[in-house]
Amino acid sequence: MHRIEALTCTSPANLMPQLRNIALTVHELEEGEFYWVLMEGTDYAMEDALPYLPLESASDPQASYANALVAGVAAMRKLFGKDGPRT
């Protein structure tokens, strides 16, 4: 499992913390074995691309793409709670 700590920024007390740029994708590493992967957008400059780094991933495969996608959403909810991925 990959985990990268988020960079924190200071914001005024009356403003809600900024939303982090998190993406969910599914990889089929072996035929019929689907893994969800959470990625976080970075500030690295790349022409015509938005680079992401792995944040967290499934350790066990799912039997279908849809199941892996649902499991990834559940992982996001568990990690970030009701307010989403905020800094």
pLDDT digits over 39-78, tens only? Answer: 999 988 788 888 999 999 999 999 999 999 999 999 999 9
**Predicted confidence band of residue 9 (pLDDT cuts 50, 70, 90):** very low
- Highest mean pLDDT: which of 8-22, 35-49, 69-83? 69-83
Task: Extract the tokens encoding 56.
Answer: 């967290």
Q: Please state the φ and ψ torsions of residue 30, each to the nearest 5 degrees.
A: -130, 155
pLDDT at residue 40, as a whole number = 94
DSSP 45: -
Distance from C-alpha of 14 to C-alpha of 78, rounded to nearest angstrom: 26
**Predicted confidence band of residue 12 (pLDDT cuts 50, 70, 90):** low
Looking at every residue in the chain, the average pLDDT score rounds to: 86
